Chain A
Amino acid sequence: MTSSIFNLRFDRRKLLKGTAALGALQVASPFIIQARGETPIKIGMVDPLTGVYAAPAGNEVMGAKLAVEQINAKGGMLGRQVELLVEDSANDVGTGVQKARKLIERDQVNFIIGDVNSGIAAAIAQVTAEKKILHIVSGGHTDSITGKDCKWNVFRVCNTTRMEANSVSNVLFSKYGKKWHFITPDYAFGHTLYDACTDDLKKLGGTVTGNELTPLGTTDFSAYLIKARAASPDVLILLVQGSDMINCLKQVVQFGLNKQIHVAGTQQELESLAALPPEARVGVWMFEWYWKQPGVPGVEKFVADIRKVNNGNVPTARHWFGYTSAMSFALVANKEKTTDAVKLAAALENFELPDDVKLQPNKVYYRKGDHQLMTSAFVGEAQSKGKDDPEDLYRVDEVVPGDKTAPAVSETGCTIQWPA
């Protein structure tokens, strides 16, 4: 045994053969690539695959991968194959920026998608603007990305915090009452969302009974909930997200608060509802996309395609974000027959998504002026158990088009500076 290993390592003939093969490979490889056409077009994706946003980030990547597979099956982009390069931002701004630079400088990607975290998304946008790379923010919601910090090369698929607030404010006010108490995560996303909600509430004539600012990653919400109940509001609005949402909602229900005060909020996600025990799936919310849309073209096929790669589970809004981001690049590039970022960015303005990509009833397009996707809000209520499917944890009451939820471009604070 030992001797055969020894022979393997030092056999002169094998070594020669190996060297010859290696040489042949080097000569042959350019030929193979030429025969296949040109080098692939690369899409780089930066998302927090580790850390607290790992679940939504993983789903966005899964959606983008599906899109790339479908693009390639239909002949690719400009006749070239598309390759998706994924990097982990580890939910850290510095790491995210570094990974984006690596994708652009070393891997020479043509497009960038990312990030779930608003702060990282905004920082990456600085890099992509500097490097003149077309960039779609898949899942970071803070207003400024398509607001005062908007850029010619940056487009966004998910909603802004204003759009989220506007989609549910009226319903909550008219149905549940005018005294609202907020549980707000103490960082950029939470603050902008809170401002948006309270602006709406003021316009409607309601009052804020209090705002509990909770640090990101809070595990125990009892102290805040004690305060909230003492203020006796009509509605308790939870603006927290991810694991904070799960912890908070779980405790709200264990305390029985949902039986005394209406529990609601803006953005809710299937990832969070799925992680909650059935009794804690309560409240009125908005989803940014929902998998169960009977009769809407393309949705059933998309759900079936994701189930194949997702252990049989249905797609969430995050899957759709990733999918739509990658698809948008291919659609616009194939239409314009170029990969030039400036030309494509101009072409994406007012670009309307086709049925098999938008996967929702209303008109969906990237708005000229702020580059925000005018995508619908799925307003409805969480349900503890699905009737036909265990993952049907949400009942959609209304699909509000993006045009109705988004403030006018003039109110966003965005002025796009195109490169000279």
Chain B
Amino acid sequence: MMTQLLLFNVTNGLIIGAFYVLMALGLSLILNLSNVINFAHGGFLVIGGYIAYTITPYIGFWGALLLAPPLTAIIGLAVERVLIRPLYGRDPLYSLLLTFGLAFMIEDGTRFIWGPQGKPVTIPAFLAQPLSNDLFFITGYRLFMVVVVMIAVALLFLLLRYTRLGVRIRAGTLDLETVAALGINVGMLRSLNFAVGIFLAGLSGVLAAGQLGLEPTMGTGLLMPSFIAIIVGGIGSLPGTLVGGLLIGVASGVTAVFFPAASEAVIYVMMAVILLTRPRGLFGEEGMMS
């Protein structure tokens, strides 16, 4: 009985972790290249969810899934150009404060446009049921989410590995000055990189709206675990973020079996332990944040 419960929760934790990975990868991309700790990432997630909600009546769930993330990315691009770009040269604290304020503005903005009342989001009926009676927590939708995350992660790694943009982003992460000296338009590079990050936030938003209540504060609770995923995995390492996300998902799932009230706190404990014993994180490079 106990083994089964444990096994269930490890599997379940991996599913939850997969979602954090999607969030955290976007955050990580932006942090690595531009040194911007994007506190408004949860806000962009909410925007993605609301855009999907708004366009679903016209183009259906699948259309919204395809269209809402790029639309969110466009909004992100505009925000980057107008608000974040002027702060690149300065201390990272400036952009942190800016995005912190931006998170509140987005929350209130969505409340102003769509109202404080949560919106009902319906997902296709065949996804909204468990696959089997025993493994009831593996619903079609959650499995679908994992598949989407896997596809998105695969595409992201292919983009970074094989395209010119990807190579430049990776090079810029290591040494932006040299990349600039080689004649690459760093401003453009940062914009595109930011847009890719926000695209992932938008995608997370559409997926989250399917199983959470869509409301202006939805992003807040999802943001912190994603930050912790990055720190645990190691700043500067995307594979690290991937592992970090899955790890905290499993950790909080397993804790729920033994000590439910601590299932949220356990990821913070994990972060503290990692920071004390291996400050760069599991896969991080030394001195990324200095």
Contacts and interface: CB of A to CB of B under 8 A. Distances in A.
B178 interface: no
Interface in B82-136: 107-108, 111, 115-123, 128-130, 133, 136
Contact of A218 (B117, B123, B221): B221
Interface stretch (B8-16, B181-189, B191-199, B279-287): B8-16
A54 interface: yes
B72 interface: no
A271 B257 CA distance: 32
Nearest to B121: A277
Contacts of B8: 226
Interface residues of B, number: 51
Contacts, number: 124
A258 to B, nearest CB: 11
Interface string A120-133: 00000000000000
Contacts of B12: 222-223, 226
B16 to A, nearest CB: 5
A256 B5 CA distance: 18
Contacts of A55: 115-118, 215
B217 A51 contact: yes
A54 B216 CA distance: 9
B1 interface: yes
Nearest to A273: B120
B139 interface: yes
Contacts of B261: 186, 213-215
A213 B261 CA distance: 5
A107 to B, nearest CB: 24
Contact of B141 (A215, A218, A246, A254): A254
A274 B108 contact: no
Contacts of A222: 12, 15-16, 137, 253
B256 A223 contact: yes
A264 B220 CA distance: 28
B264 interface: yes
Interface residues of A, number: 42
B136 A256 contact: yes
Contacts of B128: 253-254, 279
Contacts of B121: 277
Contacts of A217: 220-221
A51 to B, nearest CB: 7
Interface string A222-264: 1111110110000000000001001100110111110000000
Contacts of B253: 222-223
Contacts of A186: 261
17 contacts: A54-B116, A186-B261, A213-B261, A214-B260, A219-B218, A223-B9, A223-B13, A226-B256, A230-B1, A230-B5, A247-B211, A254-B130, A274-B117, A275-B120, A275-B213, A275-B214, A278-B122
Interface of B: 1, 4-5, 8-9, 12-13, 15-16, 107-108, 111, 115-123, 128-130, 133, 136-137, 139, 141-142, 208, 211-218, 220-222, 252-253, 256-257, 260-261, 263-265
